[in-house]
Homo-oligomer: A and B are copies of this chain.
């Protein structure tokens, strides 16, 4: 087991309603050896109920980072996995929590990785999912899949720990993944270009563009590949001086 893996994993909770769940999640994280907690717009935090349920894991709460957006919580992350209780439309790659843990650990050997959880009531929004490169589900009872948020955090952290302890991960591939903020800048560049060449409808650019985002998100772009693609975009946008017309 490498301590690096544990240090490189962050748990991100989006818009959690109940502070008790934040405390229980912190406790769940610590029992499995994880400590980096990010809270995107929590309803109530800090909060005595969170502290009470954290039991001896108040250090995790004390060092939790609160952000206004998911993107902020993902800064520096090379790979983000969105947790979902249900199937989503569209073409997100979906795996179970065990497979997600294997993939997370592989990347976390060298770069920060995030596991992202949505609200208690409705999970992650589509916009939040679009910040993730992989979607993971916990295989629950289809007739009653009402898994408590902290329970879901517990299961995912357990799978991460089991995978890390099994130590049978391949050596990480040499490639360096692009960070979330590099990806976001690429998406902005891509959208501008697609508007400029008349591919996206300026009145309704979102739907088609979201498909493009997802496609690139599935590819898990490396740093260098983002640069290659942005090179293409730059040439696409430039007026072509040599075009014969």
Contact = CB atoms under 8 A, between A and B. Distances in A.
Contacts of A212: 228
Contacts of A28: 148, 151
Nearest to A155: B158
B141 A197 contact: no
A165 to B, nearest CB: 6
Given A139-B169, A140-B161, A211-B224, 6 more contacts: A30-B141, A32-B140, A91-B173, A96-B168, A197-B235, A215-B221
Interface of A: 24, 27-28, 30-33, 55-57, 87-89, 91, 93-96, 98-99, 137-141, 144-148, 150-151, 154-155, 158, 161-162, 165, 167-170, 172-173, 175, 194, 197-199, 208, 211-212, 215-216, 218-222, 224-225, 228-229, 231-232, 235-236, 239-243, 245
Nearest to A234: B199
Chain B CB count within 10 A is highest, among A95, A197, A220, for: A197
Contacts of A228: 208, 211-212, 215
Contacts of A151: 28, 31, 150-151, 154
Contacts of A231: 199
A175 B241 CA distance: 41
A32 B33 CA distance: 24
Contacts of A224: 211
Contacts of A155: 154-155, 158
A91 B57 contact: no
Given A55-B146, A141-B32, A218-B219, A167 B199 contact: no
A144 B211 contact: no
12 contacts: A30-B144, A31-B141, A55-B146, A56-B146, A88-B173, A151-B154, A154-B154, A155-B155, A194-B232, A198-B235, A198-B242, A216-B219
A31 B173 CA distance: 35
Nearest to A243: B239
B139 A162 contact: yes
A98 B167 contact: yes
A51 to B, nearest CB: 15
Contacts of A167: 96, 98-99, 139
